[in-house]
Amino acid sequence: MRSRLPRNLALLILLARALPVGAQTGGELHFCLHGEPKTFNPILVDDEPSENIRYLTGGVLIRLNRQSQALEPALATSWTISRDRRTITFHLRKEIHFSDGTPFSSEDVGYTMRMLMDPETHSSTGDAFRSGEGSVAVESPAPDLAVITFPAPIAGLERLFDQVAILSAHSPKKEMAVLGPFYVADYKAGSYILLQKNPNYWKHDAQGHALPYIDSVRLDIQRNRDIELLRFRRGELQLINRLDAEQFDRLQHENPAVTRNAGTGLDAEELWFNQSPAAPLPEYKKAWFGAKEFRKAISMAINRGDLCRIVYAGYAKPAYGPVSPSNHFWFNSSLEEPKYDAQAALRLLTQAGFRLENDTLKDRAGNRVEFTLVTNSGNAAREKMATMVQQDLSQVGVKVNVVTLDFPSLIERMTRTFDYEACILGLVNTDLDPNGQMTVWLSSGENHQWNPSQKAPATPWEAEVDKLMREQAAAPTDKGRKAKFDRVQQIVAEQQPFIYLINKDVLVAVSSNVVGAAPVVLNPPGFWNVETLRLGPAPDLGAQR
């Protein structure tokens, strides 16, 4: 007996080692959502928690690979787009079933599109498909063939389907019947959401094992980021989808193995001057803010490197344009990166008619150059940036008063009363395609923040941007679209309506017993490949880098 025990143990160890990697299935992945999902209906998704649920449960026709930023077939094995970019034809996978066993066919695609485009639904996902007057026609000539025709051409059409989770036309469970890797098994409002593995999920790994590997995902609803971090440290959570720089830095010092910097993200922080004619500001201030030289000089006088190093502990990169370098295709790499140079800024201001007197900058009429910079209260990083900008601009004689306001008051001033001078806020960018920024760049757009909702473009360069944005949306090829949008980026760099400050890094924490995690900059950064994540038996298993 005694002599056989070591041999049996050795055999067990050998057997365990012989198991394929894919055999490490099962277990529960545990992480947090930072708010209550407003809906489980994928058509109505409008908030980040619901979007995360949609990603984990929804089956889509085309999936954007978050790592390669390329489109991949999902429920559609292939697709074709007509030359006029109005019609897309999908060839669907056969023998696919929803989580409740209902079969999937082109009828479901038609049903989903009708729900999506129904004006009564008020779907923000559907808004992206509204290309012009008229309705969307969906044909189902065969169970595995769906043809969708839009009233007008849509640029980047196929990419939009990454957000469209297919609903079942026939399931009695309605939107709770899903085609994604997991389905919602339990939900306690304000507490947690339990997702169970979809037994009918269509995807398999290279060895033929059914995906996902994990049996369930438990999402605790936790708004407090500090508590989330504390629970992660205790080992109660295995993933933090987004960390702020300070938390990441702290964790990095404690346990570098669990921290992952996915690289520069798409989100930017920017400063802009109020150029709205309706703004209750003195005319001389409107003249400063409207002058390209003034904006460029301010931009040159801000030390972005210090902002990255001090405010974001080095986990950010200086930003100079509307597109982050991590947006591989659309980023205009030919643009020159302006350098921090307070003396050059001062020279530019002097050329524009300003003069420095006893360390105070004055305009031609002798008005002291002074403005109030607002930002939202409670955002420590923005408040720090504003204070650093204040110090930087004092080097060129500009006096800045920093004011923090609660968010509703700030939005009221930005969108209704226009009673502010300059503002620092962040632009959340979830879409790689420039069409997602239409409301920012069109002069008629509500998010054309420096002078929103214009009836006609206020300046020739804004008129040119309008024209270019419309042309890129209608261009037949991505190459043609890119050329137009490159020019938009060039104009923005010349005019600086937004003074881009930094692009934050995407920072994730992954427990070392989660195998296969490979954080990326696109949403959701930590669990975009949830299907192939595995849970190791012990923390020392080590996560794959």
CA distance 259 to 392: 32
406 to 425, contacts with other proteins by CB under 8 A? 406, 409, 413, 419-421
233 vs 355, beta carbon nearer other proteins: 233
Among 98, 201, 315, 371, binds other proteins (CB under 8 A): 371
95 near other proteins, judged by CB under 8 A: no
Kindly state the smallest distance separating residue 455's Cβ from other proteins, in Å.
27
Cis, bond preceding 524 (omega within 30 deg of 0): yes
- Told to check if 398 binds other proteins by CB under 8 A, we report no
Which pair of tokens denotes residue 482? 């890119």
* Secondary structure (DSSP) of 336-378: --PPP-HHHHHHHHHHTT-EEETTEEE-TT--B-EEEEEEETT
How far is 402 from 383, CA to CA, in rounded Å?
A: 8
| Minimum distance from residue 307 beta carbon to other proteins (Å) | 10
Q: Which of 173, 384, 482, 487 contacts other proteins by CB under 8 A?
A: 384
Secondary element (H or E) of residue 146: strand 145-149
Stretch binding other proteins (CB under 8 A), from 20-28, 46-54, 399-407, 489-497: 399-407
- The rounded distance, in Å, linking the Cα atoms of 20 and 141 is 43
Q: Who's near 309: CB < 8 A, 6+ residues apart?
A: none
- 286: contact with other proteins by CB under 8 A: no
Least distance CB 294 / other proteins (angstroms): 17
Query: Is residue 191 close enough to count as binding other proteins by CB under 8 A?
Result: no
CB atoms within 10 A of CB 348: 21
Q: Which two tokens stand for residue 442?
A: 């069109």
The amino acid sitting at 518 is A
**Phi–psi pair at 118, nearest 5 degrees:** -65, 120
Nearer CB in complex with other proteins: 254/446: 254
- Least distance (Å) between residue 349 CB and other proteins: 21
The amino acid occupying position 491 is I
Instruction: Indicate the residue among 146 and 393 with the shorter CB distance to other proteins.
Output: 393
Nearer Cβ to other proteins (377/459): 377
The minimum distance between CB 247 and other proteins, in angstroms, equals 9
DSSP result, 106-129: HHHHHHHHHHHH-GGG--HHHHTT
Burial class (CB in 10 A: 0-12, 13-18, 19+), 80: exposed
The 137-142 sheet, strands edge to edge: 76-81, 87-92, 145-149, 137-142
By beta-carbon proximity to other proteins, the closer residue of 135 and 401 is 401
Question: Does 402 engage in binding with other proteins (CB under 8 A)?
Answer: yes
Nearest to 195 by CA among 534, 543, 530: 530
Cβ of residue 375: shortest distance to other proteins, in angstroms?
9
383 binds other proteins (CB under 8 A): yes
The residue among 149 and 379 lying less far from other proteins, judged by its C-beta, is 379
Output the CA–CA distances (angstroms, integers) from residue 300 to 303, 360, 479, in the order listed: 8, 18, 32
Binding characters for other proteins, 216-255, by CB under 8 A (x = yes): ----------x-------------------x---x-----
Closer by beta carbon to other proteins, 13 or else 380: 380
Which residue shows structure tokens 């079942």?
168
Residue 459 structure tokens: 């300046």
Closest CA to 277 of 263, 291, 287: 287
CB 45 within 8 A of CB 125: yes
Among 403, 483, 491, 541, binds other proteins (CB under 8 A): 403
Q: Which stretch binds other proteins (CB under 8 A): 36-44, 138-146, 316-324, 375-383?
A: 375-383
Q: Closest CB to other proteins among 363 and 486?
A: 363
Distance of closest approach, residue 368 Cβ to other proteins, in angstroms: 12
CB closer to other proteins, 229 vs 349:
229
Distances (CA, A) of 187 to 28, 38, 52, 196: 16, 12, 15, 11
- Count of chain residues binding other proteins (CB under 8 A): 31
Nearer to other proteins, 287 or 405 (CB): 405
Question: Residue 367 interacts with other proteins (CB under 8 A)?
Answer: no
Instruction: Please identify, among the stretches 70-78, 380-388, 441-449, 509-517, the one whose residues bind other proteins according to the rule CB under 8 A.
Output: 380-388
Looking at this protein, which amino acid is placed at residue 357? E
Q: Cβ of residue 249: shortest distance to other proteins, in angstroms?
A: 10
Which amino acid does the sequence have at 401? Answer: N
Give the shortest CB-48-to-other proteins separation in angstroms: 23
Of 132 and 282, the one with the shorter C-beta distance to other proteins is 282
Which residue ranges make up the site for other proteins (CB under 8 A)?
Answer: 226, 246, 250, 306, 309-310, 371-372, 374, 377-380, 383-384, 386-388, 390-391, 401-406, 409, 413, 419-421
